[in-house]
Amino acid sequence: MRKALFLSLSLCVLTAAIPAQGQPFSVLSPGGATWKGAEISLDWTLGEPAIQTLSTPTGQLAEGFHQPILSLEKVPEKAPEIRPGQFQAFVSPNPARSFLSIRIESSLEGNAVIGLLDFQGRPLKRATASLSQGCLEWDINTLPAAVYNLSFRTQEGELLQTVKVVKMD
């Protein structure tokens, strides 16, 4: 009995003296990789379809989907150097169902590049219009109902204005 008690106490003392694992975040998976460039890092793994998360006051353990440390930084686009009154675009109707009327009032010369982008920034439609043209009409009947960005830029790529457009069915 004394030997069993001594052995139990010895095991308790030894396990208490072993430090906890001090490893950084890691992922166990059958495949994957990490690629790092000057401005971007890409982590990917082959994972399990099920997911379970255990949260404690000291951390979080996620099982299933790869969840790398994510750091987002807003990169502001250079503010347009166009002075107020030099360029203004008006879009109607908004919300729209089948067409957009675009009216440009500008004291600038040259052409504007007009682009319709979806919410993820993918270009859907693009046209070049004279800044002195005044009005044009776009057919958006084939687009699904969503929120789109209509951007106006100079031919050099300088942003003049962005208008949010709502397409309804």
- d(CA 106, CA 87) in angstroms, rounded, equals 4
Phi and psi at 59, nearest 5°, equal 170, -170
CATH of the domain at 110: 2.60.40.1930
Tens of each residue's pLDDT in the chain, 169 residues:
677 766 676 666 655 555 555 555 566 666 777 778 777 766 667 655 556 677 788 776 666 555 556 666 666 666 555 666 788 888 988 888 899 999 888 888 888 889 999 888 889 999 888 887 778 898 998 999 999 999 988 888 888 888 999 998 8
Q: Is residue 14 part of a domain?
A: no
Q: Is residue 60 part of a domain?
A: no
Which residues are paired to 89 by β-bridges? 104
Q: Is residue 111 part of a domain?
A: yes
Number of domains in the chain: 1
Q: Is residue 137 part of a domain?
A: yes
Q: Is residue 50 part of a domain?
A: no
Q: Cα 111 to chain center, whole Å?
A: 30
- d(CA 117, CA 104) in angstroms, rounded, equals 19
Residue 93, C-beta contacts closer than 8 angstroms, at least 6 positions apart: 100, 101
Domain housing 114: 87-167
- State if pTM tops 0.85: no
Q: Is residue 42 part of a domain?
A: no
- d(CA 153, CA 159) in angstroms, rounded, equals 4
- d(CA 153, CA 80) in angstroms, rounded, equals 10
- Contact assessment for residue 31 and residue 45, using Cβ atoms and an 8 Å cutoff: yes
Q: Is residue 15 part of a domain?
A: no
Q: Is residue 126 part of a domain?
A: yes
- Contact assessment for residue 26 and residue 3, using Cβ atoms and an 8 Å cutoff: no
